Each structure stands twice: as structure tokens, then as C-alpha cells.
Structure 1
């Protein structure tokens, strides 16, 4: 078994990272997990949180994501993030952008619920918003300044 695997992190605006890695720690929708070379193939839905990448030299890199999914196989991980930023690039403005996107999803889900009774959609959107707030708290940013106007 090899001791590294290929990792690619892509967000809509650009490719954030493409390197050989020892480990990737992911904020899974059903709980956090680590993927290493030889991992069982899986597709994992991701919640907002920090992705930690340990490169082939042992250096750690962190990225804040708003959600997405990761495709894991024996030799590689491809992560497609809805919104992704390097941890050091996360400032209040970038976090506000991510919070507004989560708030818009919740508002759209509430409107859909009123039309069709889709309570589970609203619950998922509320969880997304709560996870975004928790991400902000974890990295020292405030969720209070990023509200969506009615």
C-alpha cells in the first residue's frame, strides 16, 4: 500500500489544491472522518466546516468549505466544494458571503415548505445554517453581521 494519495480540492471559482497527501480530514454530513491511502471507496456529503490536508511532507493545510461532496477511492480524493477558501484567507467578508448563501437556502426552503409541506427540506437548510455558524465560531468570525434582507 502506498503511503500517499492524490488530493484535488475544487470550488466553483478555481482549483484550490492538487497535491500528494498522507491524510485528509473531512467534515462529513454524518460525522467527521479521515481518509488515507487505501481507504474504502466512498462518496461523502460534506457539511460546512474545516478540511485539513496533511501533505506528503507532513505539513497541514486547512480550508473552510460551505458544503459539497468528496469522492474517495484507494488512490485519490476529489473534493468538490460549494464555496471554499484557504483558512488563512477567511476573513469576516468571506464568512459573511458563506453565511448569506446558507441563509438564502434556508429562506428558499421555508418558501418551498409553505407551498408543498416539505418539512425535511427546511430542517436540512436550518442544519446547514447552524453548521455555518459553528464554522464561524470555530475560526473566530461572527455570524451576526451576515444577515439576508427580507
Structure 2
């Protein structure tokens, strides 16, 4: 059976490294599905879930990313995430609080830059909450 090596890293740490049968993640132009021997590709990724079908256990590994870059080679996938959180470590209450704070910051923004920053944070928290709910629904 063909596999592809997957690395998911953030600025803080390596989140996942291992062999996979399949990887799915939110590309800038839409959802991407990566199989072994995929055509080389570099693209930005949007906030959302990286789903990795592990080759060793056949289980799905789940990681939330808040954006970043994806590099695909025929035998390797590298996700360089701005922020990455393992599915089991996601905290819905904290994400809801951060989403509410971003919403308040958008209402009170004094400049376009402040508004854009708050809007970006709001979008990332909304994506994190949606990803967490999908993760829980699968468990």
C-alpha cells in the first residue's frame, strides 16, 4: 500500500509527523485531498481542519490550523501552520470567548487595520469552533 509522509508544524512545535494514506485540508481555493504520488503543489491554507488518515492505525488524526502554507511533493506533505492545535486539545469555551472578543473588537475598531485584525481573528475562531464540532461528531 502506498503512503505519503506528513509533517504538520507550527512556530511553536511539531504537531504531527508520520505516514498517511490520505490528507485533506482547507486550501485557499477550496478543500484539498492529497494521496500518495500527488502532483507537486504549493498553496496557502485557510483556517480549518487538517485530517490525516494514518497508515499505521487507519485512524484519522485531526489538527486545527489557523492558516499557513502547504507544500506537496509526490512522497511528502508539509503543512507550515501559523497556529496548529491537536483536535484533542481544542477548547470550545475558550474559542467561543475569543470569538466574542473579536466580535467586540470589530464593533469598537478605530481604524481599518484594527477592524481587519479583529475580522481575521473572528474568522479563525469561527473556523476553529466549526472544526471542533466536526471532530466531536466523528468521535
Say whether the fold is shared (TM-score over 0.5): yes
- 2:112 match: secondary structure: helix
Q: Which residue of 1 aligns with 2:112?
A: 110
* Native 8 Å contact 1:66 1:98 kept in 2: no
Q: Which residue of 2 aligns with 1:13?
A: 12
Asked if residue 53 in structure 1 is aligned to residue 46 in structure 2, the reply is: no
CA distance in 2, matches of 1:71, 1:98: 30
- 2:26 match: secondary structure: strand
> Gaps (5+ residues) in structure 1?
114-121, 141-150
Q: Which residue of 2 aligns with 1:133?
A: 126
Q: Which residue of 2 aligns with 1:95?
A: 95
- 1:37 match: secondary structure: coil
CA distance in 2, matches of 1:89, 1:109: 34
Q: Which residue of 1 aligns with 2:72?
A: 72
> Gaps (5+ residues) in structure 2?
134-139
Per-residue CA deviations over 1:67-93 (Å, capped at 9, x if unaligned) read 111100100001011111111100036
CA distance in 2, matches of 1:4, 1:13: 27
Aligned residue pairs: how many?
128
**Stretch of structure 1 that moved more, 85-94 or 44-53:** 85-94
Q: TM-score, normalised by structure 1?
A: 0.70
Q: Which residue of 2 aligns with 1:146?
A: none
CA distance in 1, matches of 2:92, 2:123: 17
The Cα of 1:127 is off from its aligned counterpart by: 6.4
